[in-house]
Chain A
Amino acid sequence: MKKMKVTINSKTLFLWTIFSCLLAWNGVYAQTDGRKITGKVSSSGKPLAAASVINKRTNIGASADNEGNFSIQAKTGDILVISDVGYIKKEIKVGTADFIDISLTQEQAKLDDVVVIGYGKARKVNLTSAQTSVTAKDMEKTVNTTIEQAFQGRAAGVYVTQNSGQPGGGISVAIRGISSINGNTEPLYVIDGVQVQGGGTTNSSNPLAGLNPADIEDIQVLQGPSATAIYGSRATNGVLMITTKRGKAGETKFNYGYQYNIQTPPKKLQVMDLPQYAQMVKEFHAIAGGVTPIEFLDPSLLGKGTDWQGELFNNAAMQKHQLSLSGGSNTTTYYMSGEYLKQEGVAIGSGFDRYGFRINLDNKPKDWITIGANLSFNQTNEQLTTSSEGVITNALELTPQVPVKNLNGSWGGSNDINGATQYAPVNPIAIASVRTNTNRRRQFLGGLNVGITLAKGLTLRTSFNTDINYSNSLYFNPTFDWGSNARNVNATLSNNIRMNTYWNWNQLLEYNKQFKKHNVSVMVSHESQESKWQNISAGRSGYLTNNVLDLQAGAALGAINGGGSGPWAMESYLGRLNYNFDNRYIVTGTIRKDGSSNFGPENRWGTFPSVSAAWRISQENFFKDVSFISDLKLRFETGLTGNQGNGGIFSPLNSNPSDLGTGFLPGRYGNPALQWEETNTNNIGLNIGFLKNRITIEGDYYVKNSNNLIMDNPLPWYMGTSGIGAVGNPAVNIGTLQTKGWGITINTTNIINQSFKWESNLNISSFETNIKKFYSDAAFVERTSWWLDNWTQRSSVGQAPWLFRGYVEEGLFQSVEEINKSAVRVDNNGNRLPTNEATGVWIGDVRYRDISGPNGVPDGIINFYDETNIGNPWPKLFGGFTNSFSYKGFDLSILITGTFGNDIYNHIAKVNNKTNTIYTSRNLLVTAMDYAKLGLDKNGMPAIMNPGTNVPRLTGSQIANDNNYGTTSSRWVEDGSFLRLKNVSLSYNLPASIMSRQKLVRGIRATIGAQNAATITGYSGFDPEVGSYVGGNASLTNQAIGLDNGRYPLTPIYTFSLNVNF
């Protein structure tokens, strides 16, 4: 019965709040018995507009005006309840005074928040595990086309790099380093309970691109083992819990948001213009022989030529309309939203649009039952041509001599008759304009849940969630003829359809009990989930027109098709015990048992326990006197998470046609004994708050050990494991990885007074991953990009994963003497190349470091034994720094992100400094003009006339050019550190004094902002934020990290947005 009363009271209160809001809105004041009491509500001297004042006896309330003033009828002895959102409620007994000055204290909102955790909720102060969060308020400050962009730079431990600046482009997220070599390193996303495994992507598109960031209320990043272990086998890479907005009881609220953005082109790389190009051609022919075209003989007569970067990159618009509707009654609340986003790309051949719709419903038909539903549908369209065709690389490489379009309106291209541009690469503008590469995706994401209160403190919940995806990608290569290097006589279309369905059904029992100072909560749950995917692909050629992009229009003869499908399932039992004594000592234990279809019956089930404890020292009596520390909590946690890999217990037979009938060959070595990969993490953490939590610091240090790494065993080739018809390497558990790292978050309220507030958030993290064990000490795993001069990354024992491989460059040979005493390459018969300008090594050629030889010691010969690790793609430090200022109706927010200590391999610089390619109509960076100019010194000895240069000599000698450019070398490894002004935004809320003059609109907020506004970096390419390589030829298991080959850059975005509440 007591409980009933509470409900009624709170309900009444709630209604009153709404009612009083309405009163305030309408400016009508109810008059009842008693005398008129006036007063002023403020906090720290700042008036609280719209604070609510309720007379507890009469249940009649009033609302404060913009200056915080209110008036209400009350008798002496009545209790007034004064409240406002974000402030601690206060009760005041009416005395004799007719004027009451009331000061409310701000809630320690950040500490008293209830946050979402795995399979439940918890008070943030009582968390025992490392968990950081990003709220809607934070996210609103940046321009986020997709959700991952929203948490970049905002949470410690989360390393986010954008793989491509292409609209809708994919992102790499690494939480606390990487914990797998072959497997997925992306985190698990839990979107309102739907578990979506983040996956890498080989094209530039993003698997979570369908979600509307504006629908998101809150993102929790679970990092500590205790928080993640409840997700057991899927949580090794961390968990991102995304909660979408829900309705609140009360009047229906409309919100309309409009955003207009201009994206601007990247800063151009300095490539040669036409006179410079002509000059270089002339110099090349003077040195290497050959005929310089007549028009190049006097470069000063030439115009600038085509500026391909200028032609490719243009200002591009992005617009977004967003409408949401929320509200509800005491028993039913709802949130509905619809969105349309259209983003053009700054580079031709790219673009993204999205339509999204969401409805979140909550219903409480009885006081012991709740029913909820989240339903969302979205469709995205992506244009992927820019990345898939290497358009940016082409734009940097094509000679300025070729026009975009010829005088007759046709596309410019190589000229077969006039040999000057005979070998010119394809016209990037033309290829981006005529080839079609689109991907349309539709996603339904949603679920239903039911909660039943069985007894006091005992609830049963069950939820059913599903994620259904459909995508349709289309690639059309039309016929064209722009010269002999750019000709396609047979138009082809390929069309791929992929369907995924996933469902998850969870049943959960939770019990909470409080007796005296003991708080106990227990949760047990069972979950089953299953997914299936299916691919259908088809292609035809022989199109008679370039306008009909449908299979039907192609020739049936020669049509091709393919399929593919796969199932997966998992069943889990999990539980959590939380014990809290007096909010001082908190212990949490979790356990999860997962059974996965990826393993054979003997090893199917994995158990993932965790224990964590926290001691809130600040709650101790002895700490009461330490006034400057308001909160102090020590945490320790240890736990196990798992990784189930991608299967490998079976040995599937691949079928192929043959002259002897369809044949079958084993596609890989099956390993029925495959086991769970396990990551043990130990984490210690500290939360500390100073000066009434005006300064809070959260720090964590962790050591993660991943054992039994599931990976494809890198067997030697003699096991028949590499090539066409090979038996794929078996999946095995053979390695050990260790990651040590730390993260620190500092939140401060620097200034707070009546009208001005300045808050800061700084987070810095660091991790270092090391491979401890492999199949053998000599074994290594490589990712080789055969399409980029065999650029290779290696993971080997004792090193961080995926280090760049190559030769160490030690400058240019300056003298004959230097050559003669240095190691050089060898000729056909293993003899040292002669010191000779035409047939061997010469001054101005690159000198490489002699590191080793067949016997493990330097052997005076430069060959593959001298390859070593020349770069590390992982940062030493990364972080974000946010400052928010508010003054009256203005809010200013500045976000700076940065990384420090990671290397980038600048493949663009390598290719565009390759001086001898000038004769194949390839343009170069201006720096290439400073090639080593050979002459005689004052003693008559051959020497470099511009000795400071690091660009090798210009020569037609194949031997020299092979030496200078034929290898991957440390010369192109650059420091990728950067500091970026990621976002600046200034918003203005129209003051209530203006708003109150009309009744329709509740609030208007206008924002101007700039994203990626400025970057400080030593990196010489377009953009230092280089994620995983996406584009042609990349595959999930062979995706380069830290390689810049004309990656679509992130460019500045200038935003105007308007938000109107009705």
Chain B
Amino acid sequence: MKKININGKILLSGILFSVIILTGCKKDFLEKPPTDSIVDANFYQSDEQVLAATSLLYSRVWFDYNDKASFNLGDFRSGTAFSAYNDRGNVLFNTTDINGENGAAWRSFFIVVGQSNLTMFNINKFAGPAVSPGVKKTAIAEARFMRALAYRYLTMNWGDVPIIENNIELLDDTTINKNTSKSVWRFITREMRAVAADLPETPLATGRISKWSAEGMLARFYLTRAGVEATGGVRNQVFLDSAKYYAQRVITNSGRALLDNYANLFKFPYDNGAESLFELQWVALSGGPGYGVGNSTPSYLNYSPDISVEGWGGDKGATWWMLSQYDGMESFGDTMIKGRTLDQRLKASYMLPGASYPEITQKLNGVNQKLVFPYITGDVNFASVKKYVIGKSEDLGFNVEPQRYPNNTYMLRLAEMYLIYAEATLGNNTSTSDATAVAYFNKVHTRSGLPAFSITDPITGLPNPLTLDAIFRERFIEFAMEGMGWYDLVSLHYYNPQKAYSILNSQDRGLYNIAPDAFPNPTSWTIKKTRWATNDRKINASLGNFLLPIPAQEKSQAPNLSKPAVDYP
């Protein structure tokens, strides 16, 4: 018995020990890469994967900017639109360092920078031999394009900002300096020129950028940089010429063309149309992909849930000043605007009571019908936002989820090239009668249904050259609600700050009431300032509050940003 016991013991122990040794030797037991996502080292192995690595640089990384900051900074601050009860800091030109959109925009642009840098870093590090050189070059150029554009926004909003070209290298660096705005401009034009050289003339896929997107950006950059490098208020002529050069190249060579009807630019589906040079590519699928890849802006602009799944834009709309800019909307004293306009851009940008929008379904008293923008009597109503408002599931043909709209956001379209050409040609003169400049201006101007602008006054026969003011007004109207107005003012501010302040400080941003002469299908409107709303109609822009302050939390977690800015080589 005893003997058997001992044998049994030895046998059992032997088995146990051998198993211990076996389990102890399995080397890959502790190799546990994530099972629910790909890791960087295993990606970037084919053309398809490399392109998949840049596709979200067209949407998700810009999300927090596009969300509310796009119109808060781009439109509210510039005075083209306002919100009566919300976002007052931006409406009243008081964007503090704890303002939500200030923080969101700052973070988002640096997300664009960080993700673009990381994408380049990873492609360079991990891309395998199966990736074709052309695709690799294009993908890297795409990332550089996004980074340069983000820096354009950064420096225009905050002035001096730190340039980061390699996040991995600087990850532990707590001493990074800001770089001067001037050197940021130098950096991004240099970058954009390299990008233009690397990108193909025809995009690799619809919606992706091409050489013409980059050259279009160069036109925009040079026009502004002419102001950045101005001396004594005189813009740099070389850069003006460059802006004109690139604008002309894009107009001639890109194959892009203006749409005949301005309103169609924003009638869904309009994505990646003939006029488009770069758009944020938002997607919405039935079944609702994750938050952050669809366009959320319409949620805040929709004037009511009656026209979509949600609508928080009931108190948003054109400012009094903006409405006064349209041809035919005549001012009577300081308290009334009255009239009608042939400019189709008004209806396509803002909704006035009685205007019909058959492309949008409105739920009225529980019944769906084609939208006729309601007339709310009383002291206050709004010229609600139309641009980027595309309706509800019934209009789009699939189930729209809150904050997930499919329509793209224009970041650069051909119309701007014509106006850049005109402005660059005008340059440091007070006006221009250059035939091409005027013709290009008219391309944009007449498309809206307005008669052509003539350098000879049709009534008096006197010379009536094209002025900077006219081009500015054209831009405000053409790009209303596209987050542009503010950056036009920043461009102006670089070489003529007083003019920028005087535009801003002249604007009326207060409450009003619009009355149509008939409902529906009015032929004219009467707009009156709300009598009792006397506060907060005007703002006071000055050097002290013109640029955005760096967000407070960022300043406190990165004290290095308080150091003086240095030039970026």
Give A residues with C-beta under 8 Å from B.
Answer: 366, 368-369, 450, 452, 454, 460, 462, 505, 507, 526, 528, 530, 532, 557-560, 563-571, 595-597, 604, 647, 650-667, 669-670, 713-727, 730, 775-776, 778-780, 827-830, 864
Q: A560-B287, A653-B39, A724-B291 are in contact. Are A665 and B33 (CB under 8 A)?
A: no
Chain B residue nearest in CB terms to A599: B30
In whole angstroms, what is the CA distance A822 to B58 when docked?
Answer: 50
Residue pair A718, B12 in contact (C-beta under 8 Å): no
Question: Given the complex, which residues of A lie within 8 Å of B49, measured CB to CB?
Answer: 664
Q: State whether the Cβ of B233 lies closer than 8 Å to any Cβ in chain A.
A: no
8 Å CB contact of B32 from A564, A567, A665, A722 = A567
In whole angstroms, what is the CA distance A658 to B63 when docked?
Answer: 12
8 Å CB contact of A526 from B20, B63, B111 = B20
8 Å CB contact of B56 from A596, A723, A725, A776 = A725
Residue pair B59, A658 in contact (C-beta under 8 Å): yes
Question: Given the complex, which residues of B lie within 8 Å of A368, measured CB to CB?
Answer: 5, 9
Question: Given the complex, which residues of B lie within 8 Å of A452, measured CB to CB?
Answer: 9, 12-13
In whole angstroms, what is the CA distance A526 to B16 when docked?
Answer: 11
Q: State whether the Cβ of B337 lies closer than 8 Å to any Cβ in chain A.
A: no
Q: State whether the Cβ of B286 lies closer than 8 Å to any Cβ in chain A.
A: yes
Residue pair B9, A669 in contact (C-beta under 8 Å): no
Chain B nearest CB, measured from A691 CB (Å)? 49
Residue pair A659, B59 in contact (C-beta under 8 Å): yes
10 tightest A-B CB contacts, nearest first: A720-B114, A828-B94, A663-B56, A663-B55, A597-B32, A659-B281, A716-B558, A660-B55, A652-B37, A725-B60
Residue pair A719, B34 in contact (C-beta under 8 Å): no
Question: Given the complex, which residues of B lie within 8 Å of A778, measured CB to CB?
Answer: 556-559
8 Å CB contact of B408 from A566, A655, A659, A719 = A659
Stretch of B166-174, B223-231, B259-267, B449-457 contacting A (4+ beta carbons < 8 Å) = B166-174
Query: What 1/0 mask marks residues of chain B from 109 to 125 whose CB sits below 8 Å from any chain A CB?
Result: 01111110111001000
In whole angstroms, what is the CA distance A725 to B53 when docked?
Answer: 13
Chain A residue nearest in CB terms to B31: A597
Q: State whether the Cβ of B374 lies closer than 8 Å to any Cβ in chain A.
A: no
8 Å CB contact of A659 from B58, B167, B552 = B58
Q: State whether the Cβ of B282 lies closer than 8 Å to any Cβ in chain A.
A: yes
Residue pair A715, B171 in contact (C-beta under 8 Å): yes
Stretch of B100-108, B213-221, B245-253 contacting A (4+ beta carbons < 8 Å) = B100-108
Residue pair A723, B64 in contact (C-beta under 8 Å): yes
Residue pair A720, B38 in contact (C-beta under 8 Å): no
Residue pair A558, B111 in contact (C-beta under 8 Å): no
Chain A residue nearest in CB terms to B40: A651
Residue pair A717, B107 in contact (C-beta under 8 Å): yes
Chain B residue nearest in CB terms to A455: B9
Residue pair B114, A726 in contact (C-beta under 8 Å): yes
In whole angstroms, what is the CA distance A717 to B108 when docked?
Answer: 9
Give B residues with C-beta under 8 Å from A.
Answer: 5, 8-9, 12-13, 16-17, 19-20, 23-24, 29-40, 43, 49, 51-64, 89, 92-94, 97-98, 103-104, 106-108, 110-115, 117-119, 122, 161-162, 164, 167-168, 170-172, 174, 176, 205, 207-208, 271, 281-283, 285-293, 399, 401, 408, 539-540, 542, 544-545, 551-554, 556-559, 561
Residue pair B52, A568 in contact (C-beta under 8 Å): no
Q: A666-B118, A723-B107, A726-B114 are in contact. Are A656 and B292 (CB under 8 A)?
A: yes
In whole angstroms, what is the CA distance A653 to B56 when docked?
Answer: 12
Residue pair B38, A652 in contact (C-beta under 8 Å): yes
Residue pair A460, B288 in contact (C-beta under 8 Å): no
B37, B98, B113 — which one has the most chain A CB atoms within 10 A of its CB? B37
Chain A nearest CB, measured from B453 CB (Å)? 37
Residue pair B108, A730 in contact (C-beta under 8 Å): no
In whole angstroms, what is the CA distance A663 to B43 when docked?
Answer: 12
8 Å CB contact of B53 from A460, A526, A663 = A663
In whole angstroms, what is the CA distance A419 to B414 when docked?
Answer: 50
Residue pair B64, A724 in contact (C-beta under 8 Å): yes
Residue pair A460, B60 in contact (C-beta under 8 Å): no
Chain B residue nearest in CB terms to A562: B290
Chain B nearest CB, measured from A945 CB (Å)? 29
Chain B nearest CB, measured from A513 CB (Å)? 19
Chain B residue nearest in CB terms to A605: B30
Question: Given the complex, which residues of B lie within 8 Å of A571, measured CB to CB?
Answer: 23-24, 29-30
Question: Given the complex, which residues of A lie within 8 Å of B39, measured CB to CB?
Answer: 650-653, 670
In whole angstroms, what is the CA distance A532 to B32 when docked?
Answer: 10
In whole angstroms, what is the CA distance A658 to B117 when docked?
Answer: 20
Question: Given the complex, which residues of A lie within 8 Å of B9, measured CB to CB?
Answer: 368-369, 452, 454
Question: Given the complex, which residues of A lie within 8 Å of B61, measured CB to CB?
Answer: 665, 725
Chain B nearest CB, measured from A371 CB (Å)? 11
In whole angstroms, what is the CA distance A714 to B171 when docked?
Answer: 11
In whole angstroms, what is the CA distance A864 to B122 when docked?
Answer: 39
Q: A657-B293, A720-B110 are in contact. Are A567 and B35 (CB under 8 A)?
A: yes
In whole angstroms, what is the CA distance A867 to B49 when docked?
Answer: 47
Residue pair B32, A727 in contact (C-beta under 8 Å): no
In whole angstroms, what is the CA distance A658 to B19 when docked?
Answer: 50
Residue pair B38, A664 in contact (C-beta under 8 Å): yes
In whole angstroms, what is the CA distance A715 to B172 when docked?
Answer: 8
Question: Given the complex, which residues of B lie within 8 Å of A532, measured CB to CB?
Answer: 35
Residue pair B110, A724 in contact (C-beta under 8 Å): no
Residue pair A558, B288 in contact (C-beta under 8 Å): yes
Residue pair B13, A454 in contact (C-beta under 8 Å): yes
Residue pair A718, B94 in contact (C-beta under 8 Å): no
B114, B164, B167, B281 — which one has the most chain A CB atoms within 10 A of its CB? B114
Residue pair A560, B283 in contact (C-beta under 8 Å): no
Residue pair A665, B106 in contact (C-beta under 8 Å): no
In whole angstroms, what is the CA distance A864 to B550 when docked?
Answer: 13
Chain B nearest CB, measured from A672 CB (Å)? 10
In whole angstroms, what is the CA distance A775 to B9 when docked?
Answer: 56
Apart from the given pairs A650-B34, A659-B281, A661-B55, 13 other A-B contacts in the complex at a CB distance below 8 Å: A530-B29, A565-B36, A595-B30, A659-B55, A660-B55, A663-B53, A663-B56, A719-B170, A779-B557, A828-B92, A828-B94, A828-B545, A864-B97
Residue pair A724, B292 in contact (C-beta under 8 Å): yes
29 interchain pairs (CB within 8 A)? A366-B8, A369-B12, A560-B287, A565-B35, A566-B34, A567-B32, A567-B35, A647-B34, A652-B39, A654-B37, A656-B292, A659-B281, A659-B408, A663-B52, A663-B55, A663-B59, A670-B39, A713-B171, A717-B106, A717-B554, A718-B113, A719-B110, A719-B171, A722-B111, A725-B60, A725-B292, A727-B111, A778-B558, A830-B544
Residue pair A667, B281 in contact (C-beta under 8 Å): no
In whole angstroms, what is the CA distance A720 to B34 when docked?
Answer: 23
Chain B nearest CB, measured from A607 CB (Å)? 15
Question: Given the complex, which residues of A lie within 8 Å of B97, measured CB to CB?
Answer: 864
Residue pair B290, A656 in contact (C-beta under 8 Å): yes
8 Å CB contact of B63 from A570, A596, A716, A724 = A724
Chain A residue nearest in CB terms to B284: A657
Residue pair A829, B544 in contact (C-beta under 8 Å): yes
Residue pair A652, B34 in contact (C-beta under 8 Å): yes
In whole angstroms, what is the CA distance A560 to B114 when docked?
Answer: 30
Chain B nearest CB, measured from A522 CB (Å)? 17
Chain B residue nearest in CB terms to A715: B171
Residue pair A657, B285 in contact (C-beta under 8 Å): yes
In whole angstroms, what is the CA distance A526 to B17 when docked?
Answer: 10
Question: Given the complex, which residues of B lie within 8 Å of A655, measured CB to CB?
Answer: 37-38
Chain B residue nearest in CB terms to A672: B41
Residue pair B40, A670 in contact (C-beta under 8 Å): yes
Question: Given the complex, which residues of B lie within 8 Å of A454, measured CB to CB?
Answer: 9, 13
8 Å CB contact of B107 from A664, A726, A827 = A726
Chain A nearest CB, measured from B278 CB (Å)? 13
Residue pair A526, B289 in contact (C-beta under 8 Å): no
Chain A nearest CB, measured from B187 CB (Å)? 15
In whole angstroms, what is the CA distance A662 to B171 when docked?
Answer: 28
Question: Given the complex, which residues of B lie within 8 Å of A530, measured CB to CB?
Answer: 29
Residue pair A559, B56 in contact (C-beta under 8 Å): no
8 Å CB contact of B16 from A507, A568, A569 = A507
Residue pair A526, B24 in contact (C-beta under 8 Å): yes
Residue pair B59, A780 in contact (C-beta under 8 Å): no
Q: A507-B20, A569-B29, A719-B167 are in contact. Are A656 and B115 (CB under 8 A)?
A: no
